[in-house]
Copies of this chain bind each other. A is one copy, B any other.
């Protein structure tokens, strides 16, 4: 028996070897991951800058956690999605997994450092062994931009601020229209209770409801009854509610609903949303909010309000048909257009997560939102596809008009670097002048210094304004001062 175990162990290791030796070497990134080229980095950084500016505008500080955690930290936090967690190989030592989101590590951080109150943002990559659909902006390695408010507060004040943060960001990215769907876990729990779902099945049925954004009710109902063993009449009762959506009017209707109003949990959730809509009005985001009873969110740890932001404009569809046909599929296949063009942010309240990590189970109430940038970047990259975009910031190019001026060019570069002027030159010892000037024009470098033997003997250099091709002679000794002055004047 001992030997059979060992053989099994070996077989397990053997399988890697087979795969390794059978496949030829393929030059690619891992499935579901991508490189960012310099142009994509410029677009990404511009988006990050706007996102971070908004987070700072709301008083958040930032922190960073490792890319992997002890596997135990992640275990039992993600419900059915736990199967998507990437584990590290057991190479001796600790058992580790790649982070699945930024929320659980944040909760671990709060418990570990006994932080009872913080407003923090974090941008970082997270990892999910999902079936990637990269043309739809769904990756295995992707960025999340998180904003969370932790600590005791009066009800709903931070919850509505999270929605405000999302709408500010989506507006600042100029992504056309969006809505934020909201729901409340207590309403869902109350609904399940009122429809006679046993307590132990709440999370499982909740997972089924969560699929309504991708599947029709009939399929979801089938999953509830066939896979999860819910009585068909109970499923039908649920069906009468979860397809409804509205605003505070729907809240009022449900508060008066004879069945729901019997559930204490439902009443609490509905009262909370009532307050939410009042504050949303004050924060100027009410028109962006839709109370959608089918919104459930897959993750286990939510305890109160839950959000999901979707882009709603179908303008993109027509805009991108012209250019790249696959872009149509992003938006048409992914979701019914009037239902929005795919989730772009999500979040909610999770009041019990920190307590799971605290040795004394001390709770720190938290609410937060996570913005996914992959779909946003797909839109931005496509929108700016024909735009000229500088990927370097070089201000001055030091060129030679003749041979044997390498050392002189090097001296000038060193001088300009000393003055913190962004400067480049050719890496050839004797480059041709035309090629050097072409580099300036192609790269959008605004100024070129052109040196020649006779000019150097006279103690001057030529300064060329690349866009206008105007040239002037400058005293060599005053070169950096003149450049500093010109660069300050024209903020290039």
Contact = CB atoms under 8 A, between A and B. Distances in A.
Given A29-B66, A157-B429, A423-B57, A164 B417 contact: yes
A30 B70 contact: yes
Given A57-B417, A427-B157, A89 B89 contact: yes
Contact of A27 (B58, B111, B414): B111
List the number of copies, as a whole number: 2
A7 interface: yes
A12 B429 CA distance: 56
Given A66-B35, A141-B66, A282 B120 contact: no
Interface in A247-274: none
Contacts of A119: 392
A438 to B, nearest CB: 14
B153 A427 contact: yes
B417 A58 contact: yes
Given A58-B417, A164-B417, A428 B153 contact: yes
A283 B66 contact: no
30 contacts: A16-B92, A20-B95, A26-B70, A27-B112, A27-B357, A30-B96, A31-B93, A31-B94, A34-B66, A36-B64, A36-B65, A41-B61, A53-B420, A56-B393, A57-B422, A61-B391, A61-B392, A62-B391, A67-B125, A68-B141, A89-B89, A93-B129, A154-B427, A157-B406, A158-B427, A164-B414, A282-B407, A282-B410, A283-B414, A284-B418
Interface residues of A, number: 103
A35 to B, nearest CB: 5
Contacts of A151: 427
A93 B18 CA distance: 10
A93 B19 contact: yes
Given A57-B420, A59-B422, A427-B149, A94 B36 contact: no
Interface of A: 3, 5-7, 9-10, 12-13, 15-16, 19-20, 25-31, 33-38, 41, 44, 53, 56-72, 86-96, 98, 108-109, 111-113, 118-120, 125, 127, 129, 141, 149, 151, 153-154, 157-158, 164, 168, 279, 282-284, 357, 359, 391-394, 406-407, 410-411, 413-414, 417-418, 420-424, 427-429
